[in-house]
Amino acid sequence: MAKYAAFGTKILRGAVEIPQVLSISGPSPTMDTIDVTTHDSTDGWEEILPSILRSGEVTFDVVYDPALTAFKYASGGIPYDMVNRTKSTWTITLPTSPAKSWVFPAYVTGFELQAPVEDKLSVSVTLRVAGAITIP
């Protein structure tokens, strides 16, 4: 069984790789359930049925350089997508051999500047996945 380091993982908006990524978390799909337990359920155990699939969120942190196109509003960067409610196709490519990619549509729902006194200037981006996730 192979094991892989996460170093080299990429996130892309369309065909454009997002630069200076520090970390990526998600997507985090889940499934809702419906409780169908009745008074005559076997041995008093709950009974459930599957319901809606939730696609979850993706967050990623980047070293922020306001000069880079990906982080500009005016040039159609990530903040532009959020303000204009633009759904884009996103891809997370894993550094496996061969490379595997998770692909999903998403809206940018957060673009949070972080400026701690003794650390780097960074931005945390939140994506809300808006449909099915293709998982290899």
Q: Beta partners for 61? A: 23, 124
Asked whether the CA dihedral 62, 65, 68, 72 is positive or negative, the reply is positive
| Domain ranges for the chain | 1-28+54-136
92-102 per-position pLDDT tens digit: 999 988 889 99
| CATH of the structural domain 1-28+54-136, one choice from 3.30.465, 2.30.110, 1.10.10, 2.60.40 | 2.30.110
118-130 per-position pLDDT tens digit: 999 999 999 999 9
Give first-to-last CA distance, the chain, whole Å.
17
DSSP 3: -
C-beta of residue 8 within 8 angstroms of C-beta of residue 17 = no
Q: How many residues does the chain have?
A: 136
Say what the pLDDT of residue 58 is. Answer: 97
Tokens of 24: 């990526």
